[in-house]
Amino acid sequence: MIDLVVAAAAVGFWVLVYAFCRLLTRPASPAAAPATMELGAESPALVSLLVNRWSLTEDAAESTLLDLAARRFFELRQPGDDPMRTTVHLSARPPASSDLAAYESQVLERIRGLSVDGVVPITALTFRNAAESARWNKRLRQAVLAEARAAGLSRRRISKTMSTLLSVLAAGVGVVVGFAALRYGFGKPEDDQPPAFAFGFFTFAVLSTLGARSLGERDTPAGRAAASRWLGVRDWLRGHDQFASLPPAAVAVWDRYLAYGAAVGVTRLASAVLDLEMGDKRLVWSSFGGTWHRVRVRYPRFWPRYGRPLPHLLLRAAAYLLAGGLILRLFGALDYFAAPAVLLLALGAYVLIRSLLDLAFTREITGEVLWRESWKSKKQSDDSYVTWLFHLAVDDGSGDRTTAWGLPAAVGSGVRDGDTVTITVRPWSRRIVKIVTVGHGRSREIVDTVTEEETGSLSLTMMPAVATPLFSDETVAQVVGRAVVSAPLPLGLQYNAADTGKPMVLVQSLSGLPGKVAWRANQRGAEVPGGAFVAGDRAAFRRGETTYVVTLMGEGRAGRPHLPWLVAQAR
């Protein structure tokens, strides 16, 4: 028994060292700097890593797509009120792509590869094969992490030095375990048993593999400073509720602000429309509490008590107690069986006491349903399967992390994502015993989240069409070299070719805070008389408190040399 105790103590010591290493290397949670609208030099993908405690989410790819649109590699056009109908149009004369980061080139290559005649619907960018999606997103995340490490913003959570130290300790533990096995009697020539060194080698292999396993990224001093600054930008964006309701096509006006908003997780509508992977049930949007935020959800699968009814837990406790009592009664004189028997008795008593306390201290929680999915099923007589236990994730507003509850099928079969519910739960077993729907909500599915009625009203409110056209059809026709017809859009006023109907020029107007941000974002390029700025296919100018943005589109880009003249003709 002494040999076994020494071996167990050696393994326990290694586990304690490993746990201390994990505790020591937890990613930091920097405090937000004062709210600011000043953007930094980091790309949106890097910002997504920094503000999510050095953990990459789907925001990295989505914000990169918006950033490429803001940098004129392609255009995002919304023909009507529904953002789901947004299309991506590749630029005929895109900027040089030689300076793009690897992950930016990867996003651009996917869009180019899927486009037909330079156009691809935004909804066609999702993956249809889970394995392909996993490979593509893994490559993108690796590229983002490589750039973050090169910039000194991130590093391996378990460093090579720490991993080597854990391997050396694991080797020492393996020697102790092997020696204990030899002393215990294994490895004798006359025994048909595995040699003692096999136990030591197996212990070393398991512990060293565990110590070398990647645990992700962690902070650096430079990374913490950058994260704090970007959290200040996030607070500034969150202070304006309308920002969360901007569609992807609003990048034409909001420029890189929309991309960075997606990176820090405040562009609820744009992020709901964009999808470059299969979706993540562990990071879900919630509006509970009046503001949109994302909640990380954990789904327990290996807890013996999880979602179990009281009779099952009591039966399990009785089985532990009975097994421990029988072992003591039959083999109590043998030291080898004493420890397992005591362990079973202690486990049975623990399960019994916690089950009774769980019954006595039920509590009620009110929150928004984030995710509901089938977990455990049973086979029917006709060989079909029916679910008897669901995972139900609920955001009660207490934090940005939660653990899903076990929902019996008979208790809450009619609950949908987005509903506000009051649940009666048993905290220890995490079982829902009663659920009452307080209010019906929209499904978290994109098709339900982004309705034409709602997005239309939001777009018209946030980006009103130009009441009095700045330019006549004849004036625009002189610039693009062909007859055009104006048509109002939720995003402004669009001039289309009279013969083909293709868009040629888009004019947008914004007032208030959106107008100020749009003016700040578009103050670049050459300044022309009248206080206007012209950069490539786009021009921006102010009239009173209103910002106007003029963008040449498609074949209308042929009029680029005449864009300063067009701005000068504004009424």
Q: Looking at the domain assignment, is residue 10 inside a domain?
A: yes
Query: Within this chain, do residues 365 and 438 fall inside the same structural domain, yes or no?
Result: yes
Write the CA distances from 126 to 75, 80, 140, 407, 443, integer angstroms: 18, 21, 15, 31, 20
Q: Looking at the domain assignment, is residue 517 inside a domain?
A: yes
Q: Are 70 and 259 in contact (CB under 8 A)?
A: yes
Q: Are 366 and 336 in contact (CB under 8 A)?
A: no
Q: Are 407 and 390 in contact (CB under 8 A)?
A: yes
DSSP track, 409-436: TTT-TT--TT-EEEEEEETTTTEEEEEE
| Residue ending a domain, choose from 461, 485, 513 | 461
Other Cβ atoms within 10 Å of 511 Cβ, number: 14
In this predicted structure, what is the pLDDT of residue 445?
33
For residue 372, which of 454, 291, 299 has the smallest C-alpha distance?
299
For residue 111, which of 93, 123, 102 has the smallest C-alpha distance?
123
Query: Within this chain, do residues 142 and 170 fall inside the same structural domain, yes or no?
Result: no
Q: Are 310 and 357 in contact (CB under 8 A)?
A: no
Token pair for residue 520?
Answer: 């700040």
Query: Within this chain, do residues 273 and 285 fall inside the same structural domain, yes or no?
Result: no
| Residue ending a domain, choose from 419, 443, 461 | 461
In this predicted structure, what is the pLDDT of residue 130?
72
In this predicted structure, what is the pLDDT of residue 349?
94
Residues of the chain predicted below pLDDT 70: 1, 128-129, 184-196, 277-280, 285, 287, 290-292, 332-335, 383, 413, 440-468, 489-491, 513-514, 517, 571
Q: Looking at the domain assignment, is residue 32 inside a domain?
A: no
Query: Within this chain, do residues 342 and 444 fall inside the same structural domain, yes or no?
Result: yes
184-242 residue pLDDT tens = 665 555 555 556 677 888 888 999 988 888 888 999 999 999 999 999 999 888 877 77
Query: Within this chain, do residues 273 and 374 fall inside the same structural domain, yes or no?
Result: no
Query: Within this chain, do residues 469 and 532 fall inside the same structural domain, yes or no?
Result: yes
Q: Looking at the domain assignment, is residue 482 inside a domain?
A: yes
Q: Looking at the domain assignment, is residue 34 inside a domain?
A: no
Q: Looking at the domain assignment, is residue 33 inside a domain?
A: no
**Which residue segment(s) compose the domain that 471 sits in?**
463-568
Q: 176: which residues sit within 8 A by CB, 6+ positions away? A: 6, 7, 10, 200
Give the largest Cα separation in the chain, rounded.
Answer: 105
Distance of alpha carbon 167 from alpha carbon 551, whole angstroms: 60
Kindly tell me the burial class for residue 54, based on how many C-beta atoms sit within 10 Å of its own C-beta (0-12, 13-18, 19 or more).
buried
Q: Are 267 and 261 in contact (CB under 8 A)?
A: yes
DSSP track, 214-246: ---EE--HHHHHHHHHHHHHHHHHHT-GGGGG-
Distance of alpha carbon 268 from alpha carbon 241, whole angstroms: 10
Instruction: Please report which helix (H) or strand (E) contains residue 365, including its range.
Output: strand 363-379
Query: Within this chain, do residues 315 and 363 fall inside the same structural domain, yes or no?
Result: yes
Distance of alpha carbon 484 from alpha carbon 254, whole angstroms: 26
pTM of the predicted model as reported, rounded to 2 decimal places: 0.61
In this predicted structure, what is the pLDDT of residue 514?
65
Query: Within this chain, do residues 500 and 537 fall inside the same structural domain, yes or no?
Result: yes
In this predicted structure, what is the pLDDT of residue 448?
32
Q: Are 530 and 569 in contact (CB under 8 A)?
A: no
In this predicted structure, what is the pLDDT of residue 350?
93
Q: Are 514 and 37 in contact (CB under 8 A)?
A: no
Question: Looking at the 3D structure of the chain, how many domains does it have?
Answer: 4
Q: Give backbone dihedrals phi and psi of 106, rounded to 5 degrees, phi first.
A: -65, -45
Task: Assign residue 289 the CATH number of its domain.
Answer: 2.40.50.660
Query: Within this chain, do residues 292 and 366 fall inside the same structural domain, yes or no?
Result: yes
CB-facing half-sphere around the CA of 4: CA atoms within 13 A? 7
Pairing of strands 484-489, 405-408: unpaired
Query: Within this chain, do residues 334 and 468 fall inside the same structural domain, yes or no?
Result: no
Query: Within this chain, do residues 99 and 116 fall inside the same structural domain, yes or no?
Result: yes
Q: Looking at the domain assignment, is residue 437 inside a domain?
A: yes
Q: Looking at the domain assignment, is residue 222 inside a domain?
A: no
Query: Within this chain, do residues 350 and 245 fall inside the same structural domain, yes or no?
Result: no
Residues linked to residue 552 through DSSP beta bridges, in sequence order: 505
